[in-house]
A and B are shown apart, each in its own frame.
Chain A
């Protein structure tokens, strides 16, 4: 929040701003005071905005050539790849863009977990973020169905069948979702419609996400409140804009690598075979970004409980601000939490790997242990840790932490630099 009242310099500007205060908004966004100690993990908000806009622009252009019909969808995608001018480029950006979007969102989420950005007073920002994440998964899943390849068809079949686990009404819900007795043309057309709609819902939620962020202001690596008035902050423009811009360039190099040098490495070869309702591919796997949840689904031997466990693994994040009982935000000052944090990161990576492997033998056993640990982390370790842990004293201000005023801070900075 800008502390001063803003008045446009020009007469026309004042005339317009009195009627619609867009210039006040623009001024707020450029002057928005930002903690001066933000590190590069904080640049992923901007990167995610870039990802969303990239997906919307490439998606709109693809929709000009794609045909949402079970008999023509597969061919129309090949038509985009072979005939449409730059169609290959637009489609590869869109397909890999989904992966890049999830890569960025996972870094963004784990940054929040490390620095306690979900804690009071930022719970609403966090919950809106979780809703955005859920919508992203829905959009990605439905987008993957549109090319109507074998993985599209069978992925759609498996995921929609999750709803059949619901007692009594499950089968009816699945038939309703399909618009028939199996995944078929009615399913494809509605998935296309929803896939088109969801990014705009996400866009609306992103506005709320940023609005909610601008009320308390950014969290920061030491996790203490900004002292006002102080020299703890710098204006968003040009300081953060240029830093975000640099990080975005680095990110785009990775993005471009996938698009130009390995455009299919994150996909699955079976999706270049047209959908066939009579043959299931030998090994069905979801896209990499859904693998940890897929591993949780498969590690529970009961159908309904497996679905419940998978959904709980995501929804448990929404109540995280109340499960974490520690008042200290940043892991920099929580020596034990920091260790459990990295164990959780490893646990999620292990789950992801197990999700890609066949659900049998040792893989299944490891997936089960990792699933149990995932829930243990949120339901037992976090609540207890907040009450038991001896934390490192916090610095008095961000300025003190940046200039290294206290010996404790020097210690903390050293630790922090290790994780960066």
Chain B
């Protein structure tokens, strides 16, 4: 910039650019936002699952919002194992009591928190899940114990509608 004093014309230029920038931003936003989840995707917010056929030690995988959800009916050993872990040993400390309100039922997104693969059931060093993509090990509470994943597998919002039906979402 030169060191001459700003004139009326400089003010007009700057004001025009500013108004132009606001206008461009207003036009760009719809073009960006159209990529976000649309109304039909958002509408598939909840799903109900019949879990009456599950025996202890069984897991079913259901699809919720395009993602797999693990529903596991845990055995007494698994519950005991999950509840006996010390908080200091955890990468992402969460009590099993908070993750599984009803200790027999563990409901969580079957999505590895590293890069989104589906971990394998009954595998890994901690008797829980093992992600084949980059080697994350989860325990019987779905908590990350070893490997590159930063967090425990996420517990979605869910509730028992009756004794046999879980509503996820």
Chain A contact residues, CB within 8 Å of chain B: 154, 157-158, 160-162, 164, 175-184, 186, 190, 277-284, 298, 301-303, 306, 358-360
Q: Is the pair B63, A181 in contact by a Cβ cutoff of 8 Å?
A: no
* Secondary structure class of chain B's binding surface, majority of residues: loop
Please give the distance in Å from A68's CB to the nearest CB on chain B.
15
Question: Per a CB cutoff under 8 Å, which of A181, A284, A358 touches B41?
Answer: A181
Separation of A301 and B37 alpha carbons in the complex (Å): 32
Question: Per a CB cutoff under 8 Å, which of A176, A278, A359 touches B63?
Answer: A278
Q: Is the pair A283, B132 in contact by a Cβ cutoff of 8 Å?
A: yes
Q: Is the pair B66, A284 in contact by a Cβ cutoff of 8 Å?
A: no
7 closest A-B pairs by CB: A182-B66, A181-B65, A161-B116, A161-B115, A280-B117, A158-B115, A280-B118
Q: Is the pair B150, A303 in contact by a Cβ cutoff of 8 Å?
A: yes
Please give the distance in Å from B139's CB to the nearest CB on chain A.
19
Could you give, for residues 85-119 of chain B, a 1 whenever the CB lies within 8 Å of some chain A CB and a 0 otherwise?
00000000000000000000000000000111111
Question: How many A-B residue pairs lie within 8 Å, measured between CB atoms?
Answer: 83
Please give the distance in Å from A82's CB to the nearest CB on chain B.
29
Residue among B36, B67, B133 with the most chain A CB within 10 A? Answer: B133
CB-defined contacts of B65 to chain A, threshold 8 Å: 180-182
Query: If A277-B66, A284-B133 touch, does A180 touch B115 (CB 8 Å cutoff)?
Result: no
Residue of B nearest to A279 (CB): B118
- In addition to A178-B37, A184-B41, A186-B35, 18 A-B residue pairs with Cβ atoms within 8 Å of each other are A158-B116, A158-B117, A158-B133, A176-B32, A179-B38, A180-B41, A181-B41, A182-B65, A182-B67, A277-B66, A280-B117, A280-B132, A280-B133, A302-B148, A303-B150, A306-B148, A358-B135, A360-B135
Separation of A160 and B117 alpha carbons in the complex (Å): 12
Please count how many residues in chain B sit with their CB below 8 Å of the partner chain's CB atoms: 26
Q: Is B149 an interface residue (CB 8 A)?
A: yes
Q: Is the pair B117, A175 in contact by a Cβ cutoff of 8 Å?
A: no
Residues from 40 to 82 in B contacting A, C-beta threshold 8 Å? 41, 61, 63, 65-68
Q: Is the pair B66, A162 in contact by a Cβ cutoff of 8 Å?
A: no
Residue of A nearest to B32 (CB): A176
CB-defined contacts of A282 to chain B, threshold 8 Å: 132
CB-defined contacts of A177 to chain B, threshold 8 Å: 35
Query: If A158-B117, A277-B68, A284-B117 touch, does A181 touch B148 (CB 8 Å cutoff)?
Result: no
Please give the distance in Å from A233's CB to the nearest CB on chain B.
44
Please give the distance in Å from A149's CB to the nearest CB on chain B.
16
Q: Is the pair A359, B134 in contact by a Cβ cutoff of 8 Å?
A: yes
Query: If A181-B66, A181-B67 touch, does A298 touch B35 (CB 8 Å cutoff)?
Result: no
Could you give, for residues 16-41 of chain B, a 1 whenever the CB lies within 8 Å of some chain A CB and a 0 otherwise?
00000000000000001001111001
Please give the distance in Å from B13's CB to the nearest CB on chain A.
30
Query: If A158-B133, A277-B68, A306-B148 touch, does A181 touch B37 (CB 8 Å cutoff)?
Result: yes
